[in-house]
Each structure stands twice: as structure tokens, then as C-alpha cells.
Amino acid sequence: MLERTPRKDRTEVTFVLPADTPPGPVSVVGDFNAWRPGVHTLAPRKDGKRAVTVTLPSESSHSFRYLAAGDYWFNDESACDQDGSNSRLHT
């Protein structure tokens, strides 16, 4: 799930997943972090889910995927659309 918080000239996008699906560490990788795993790793939050927030320019589009343990790549079903094998979000 994606949560968006608009700011004056940027948008904070929070990537949210259930606490244990998939199991193990998960990071969000995309064109906003040069597709580097581990830069934005989801962390537990008080509601029992895990999340990470990334600040992106307003009115921009980005490709991303999640990477879980065991080299398991997957997309976000709540994303705006797909870009080939990647999820796509718009701020």
C-alpha cells in the first residue's frame, strides 16, 4: 500500500506492507535510490505493519519494486500502474 503526504514542493510517499508477508527483511528499490537494495528498508510501526517513507519531488513519476529475503522481487498492487515488470507511482 502507498500512502502519500503532499508538502509544498515535494511528496512524502510511505511504502507499507503487512508485518510478515513476505517474511524477513524487505526494502523498496527504484529509480529514486538508483535501484540499490537496503537503502530504504521497511521497519515495524505501531499498527503492526512495516513501512518506510521516501521524499520525492511533487508531480513526478517513479518506477519501483520490493525486494525481500531470498532475492524475491515483487510489485505493489496499489501502485498507479506498471512500467514493464515494475510498479509505477505518481506524486
- Closest by CA to 68, choosing from 22, 29, 36, is 22
Total domains present in the chain: 1
> Tell me, what's the pLDDT at 78?
83
Handedness of CA 41, 36, 5, 8 (dihedral sign): positive
Which domain does 82 fall in, by range?
A: 2-90
What pLDDT shows up at residue 81? 85
Which residue is associated with the grid cell 502507498? Answer: 2
| Angstrom distance (rounded) from CA 4 to CA 24 | 25
Three cell numbers written together for 70: 531470498
| Residue that the C-alpha cell 515483487 belongs to | 74
Calpha distance 49→83 (Å, rounded): 26
Which CATH number fits the domain that encloses residue 57? Answer: 2.60.40.10
Task: Render each residue's pLDDT in the chain as its tens digit; 91 residues.
Answer: 899 999 999 999 999 999 988 999 999 999 999 999 999 999 999 999 999 999 999 999 999 999 999 899 999 988 878 878 899 999 8
